[in-house]
Amino acid sequence: VQKSAVSDTLYWTALSQISRRDTGTAIATLRNYRRQYPGEKMMYASLLNECEALIELGDKATAAKVVQEALNDANPERARAEWLSTRLGAAQ
């Protein structure tokens, strides 16, 4: 239970950072979340949120790499990943 609470806190901290437009810090927090808690329930959502944050920063090349990780049949948000991938392809 404690591990889940800590991982959830880290994920939601990143979303809070995004909402405060602290985008660079949020990206680092999302990466830390995945590194420290691989396979957690919000892993795919963290990839997609990182992708959107990278797009906001104008780093479309890195965003395209991140979204490729999210294009996985296990991702419950696969449609969102496909939409982001299409968006990135149109922007290049």
Q: How far, in Å, are 26, 74, 89 from residue 10 at the CA level?
A: 10, 22, 30
- When the pLDDT of each residue in the chain is averaged and rounded to a whole number, the result is 92
pLDDT value of position 90: 63
Residue 51 has pLDDT above 60, yes or no: yes
Q: How far, in Å, are 48, 62, 79 from residue 12 at the CA level?
A: 14, 22, 22
Query: Are residues 90 and 60 in contact, defined by beta-carbon separation less than 8 angstroms?
Result: no
Here the tokens at position 59 are: 């780093």
pLDDT classification of 3: cutoffs 50, 70, 90: low
The region that residue 39 occupies, defined by phi over 0 for left and psi between -120 and 50 for alpha, beta otherwise, is left
6 vs 12: CA distance, rounded Å: 10
